[in-house]
Amino acid sequence: MGIFKKIFGICETKPPANNDCWTFSDQAVEIDLSITPELLISGGAVRLEGKGLPERIMVFHGNDGKYYAIRNKCSHAGRRIDPLPDTQQIKCCSLMGSTYDYKGQVVSGAAKKNLDTFKVITDQNKLKIGLG
């Protein structure tokens, strides 16, 4: 990631190519994995924003085979976060580079607080994420 992106907190994780792959209602997000190829591979991730979501969310397919959903906001600098390839960690995209584990626990860097995480349930070919 270039210095410009770090200074302005621009993360590498993109929104899903097909924005119709997810919905938000009743304080829950539902993602249709059959039309979200970004999440089918280990290490894949998407960021969800808009559609009435009360906050930005990053959803990723961990290297451990599980799915995770985290509030996409570093607890230190407030910047967005990205999964680190070939690890079981997440890193803030800012210059400070706070690092967290998949459960949102601080591993290193300037952050003192853990990230907010959301429960993810896999039901057939869908992910259900409760925000309430």
**Gap between the terminal Cα atoms of the chain:** 33
Total count of domains within the chain: 1
- Residue 34: pLDDT band (50, 70, 90) is very high
What's the token pair of residue 84? 């680190």
CATH number of the domain that 51 lies in? 2.102.10.10
What is the share, in percent, of the chain residues with pLDDT greater than 90? Answer: 48
Q: How far is CA 128 from the centre of its chain?
A: 14
103: containing domain: 3-130
Q: Are 82 and 94 in contact (CB under 8 A)?
A: no
Q: How confident is the model at residue 132 (pLDDT cuts 50, 70, 90)?
A: confident
The DSSP code sequence of 36-89 is -GGGTSTT-EEEE--TT-SS-EEEEE-TTS-EEEEESS-TTT---EEEPTTSSE
Task: Give the model confidence (pLDDT) of 43-67 as tens digits.
Answer: 899 999 999 999 989 999 998 899 9
For residue range 87-118, what is the model confidence (pLDDT) as tens digits? 887 777 555 678 888 888 888 877 788 888 99
